[in-house]
Every structure is written in structure tokens, then in C-alpha cells.
Chains A and B, each alone.
Chain A
């Protein structure tokens, strides 16, 4: 159990790191891209916009 927890924590730190909000916003961005693409509207602009929001929120928190 202890090994599994450590293994899970390693991958969490590795991929998500210390800002889980940023990871959650990325998932929301992907969901929004899928929703826009499904309605036959060009969806390429959604992720770049999501990255601006994620980066702004994450840097603002880190620098305050």
C-alpha cells in the first residue's frame, strides 16, 4: 500500500506538480475544445486561449 501511495505521488508530482488548478484548467480547456469541435466550429483557438488563462492564473498565484 505504502509503495502504491509513493508510486502514485511520484506520478502526481511528475505530471501535475504543485499547481493542481493549472492541471484542472487544462482538462477544462480540452473539454471545451471537444465541445466546440463537435459543433462543427473551428476549435484550434480554444487551447491557446486556455493556455493564456492557465499561465496567467498560475503565475499570478506564484508571484503574489
Chain B
């Protein structure tokens, strides 16, 4: 009786751990993509008019909803081990891309992501483009917003579907993503400026660590391995990936200093 109770409690604790991870990962990744999409939509709205820009946003959201509605149920019928193997592998490759860029940015080997500079660049492009009206909307403004939201949104949809299906809860992942998108949209609407104060590079670092953590965890399970401590091992993997990332930043910073000193000595 007591053993059964403890087993149920342990099971619930594991489900909660992975649930918290799931919501947090979807939230952070979606917030980063939301900030990037907002910059494009703002540039389009300011330069080409809000009607065209918001029509583009609406059309892109409709396309994304269709993609999620079509692929979501399809993913749930794939056997969980096959799904974890494929999704874990893709997520690990995808996550390592984020992590690699974040480490290179943090160590000074790659320029930091600057929303103000991107906004100025998009705005300049939008202001000089030719005015072509189709179906009552400015085509450039519509296309710019549509492409921006669709491309950034596809990453969010990908994360929601992969995280949600492998953890057995697409609604929970969608909740994390939805809260992030609504929050970014509300703040963006209130300030009507790119969210340059959002620590985007730090968020990208955190998302890279989380994507890589989930990728390692699921690809191992999908390939037939099992973790000591089951879902609780996620914390261990997270700590390992975070430590590896910080160590990489420290090593690369030292390498960069050495390279700069050598370059100065040559000059």
C-alpha cells in the first residue's frame, strides 16, 4: 500500500518535472522567435502601413494553425520510440546549431544579435521598396510580415510539435508557446518599438542548452538506451550541457584574447 503510494508519487513528480521543462522550453524558444518576428512586423507596419502588415500576420498565423492541426495528430500515431529517435536526433542537430551560435556570440567570435540594428535594416528596405497594391493591401508590407511570422512561427511550431509529441502533451507545449507569443505581442503593441531590451542572446543560449538537453535525452531513449533515474536524469543532462557550454565560452574567450594579442604583436 505504502509502496504503491510512493510509486504513484514518484511517477507524478517525474511527470511534473518533464512538464515544467516542456512548458519552459516552449516558452523561451517561442519568446525568442516572437521577438524576431515582432521586429519584422513593426518595420513593415511603420514603413508600409498597419493594415497590410497585420493582414500578413493574420495570414501567416492561419497557415501555421493549419500546419499544427494537420501534423499534430499525425505525430501522435507514430510509435513513441521511433518518434523519440527521429525527433531526438533532429532536435539535437537543431539545438547544437543554436548552442554553437550562442557560444560563439558569448565568446566574441560572432556579432551579438541586435534588434535595433535589424529593425533599422528592415525599415530602410521597406521604405525604399516600390508600392504595389493587390486586393486592397500593400503587397510588400503584407509579404514582409507574412514571411517573417511564418518563418519564425515554423520554428515555434516545430518545437511545440516535437517537444509536445515526444513528451505526450502537445497542449502543454502549445500553452508555453502561446503565453510567450501573447506576451511578446502585448509588450510590442504597448511600446511600438523593437524589444531590444529583451536579453535575446542570453535567451538563445538558454534555449540552445534546453534543446540540446532534450535532444540528448530523447535520442538516447529512442536508440534503446535508458537513463538512470528516468525522467529525473533530465536535470543531470541539463547540468552537463550547461557546464559544457560555459566551459566552451571560457575556453573560446581565452583563445580569442590570445589571437588578439598575437595579431597586435604582428602589427
Binding site for B on A (CB under 8 A): 14-17, 19, 22-23, 26-27, 29-31, 33-34, 36-38, 42-44, 46-48, 51-52, 54-56, 58-59, 62-63
Contacts of A63 in B (CB 8 A): 104, 107, 109, 252, 255-256
Residue in A27, A31, A44 whose CB lies within 8 Å of B226: A44
**Is A19 touching B89 in the complex (CB atoms < 8 A)?**
no
Contacts of B107 in A (CB 8 A): 63
**Is A51 touching B244 in the complex (CB atoms < 8 A)?**
yes
Contacts of A59 in B (CB 8 A): 100, 103-104, 248, 252
Output the least CB separation between B222 and chain A (Å): 8
Q: A44-B220, A51-B241, A62-B109 are in contact. Are A22 and B104 (CB under 8 A)?
A: no
Output the least CB separation between B68 and chain A (Å): 16
Output the least CB separation between A40 and chain B (Å): 10
Residue in B154, B225, B240 whose CB lies within 8 Å of A33: B225
Interface of B is mostly: helix
Interface size class of B (residues with CB under 8 A): 35 or more
- Give me 30 A-to-B residue pairs in the complex whose CB atoms sit less than 8 angstroms apart, sorted by A's number: A14-B94, A15-B93, A17-B93, A17-B97, A19-B97, A22-B96, A26-B93, A26-B219, A29-B219, A30-B89, A33-B223, A33-B225, A34-B224, A37-B224, A43-B223, A43-B226, A44-B227, A46-B220, A46-B225, A47-B216, A48-B237, A51-B92, A51-B244, A55-B103, A55-B248, A59-B248, A59-B252, A63-B104, A63-B107, A63-B252
Most chain A beta-carbon neighbours within 10 Å: one of B216, B255, B256: B216
- Chain B's closest residue to A29 (CB) is B219
**Is B94 touching A15 in the complex (CB atoms < 8 A)?**
yes
Residue in A17, A33, A38, A56 whose CB lies within 8 Å of B220: A33
| Total A-B Cβ pairs within 8 A | 100
0/1 string, B145-184, CB within 8 A of A gives 1:
0000000001100100000000000000000000000000
0/1 string, B240-251, CB within 8 A of A gives 1:
110010001000
Bound-complex Cα distance A17 to B92 (A): 12
Sample of 8 more A-B contacts, CB < 8 Å, known A15-B90, A30-B219: A22-B97, A26-B89, A26-B219, A36-B225, A43-B226, A47-B92, A55-B96, A63-B109
Contacts of A52 in B (CB 8 A): 244
Residue in A26, A46, A62 whose CB lies within 8 Å of B92: A26
Output the least CB separation between B137 and chain A (Å): 24
**Is B104 touching A38 in the complex (CB atoms < 8 A)?**
no
The 6 closest A-B CB pairs, nearest first, are: A43-B225, A37-B224, A33-B223, A34-B223, A17-B97, A47-B216
0/1 string, B100-136, CB within 8 A of A gives 1:
1001100101100000000000000000000000000
**Is B216 touching A37 in the complex (CB atoms < 8 A)?**
no
Most chain A beta-carbon neighbours within 10 Å: one of B96, B212, B240, B241: B96
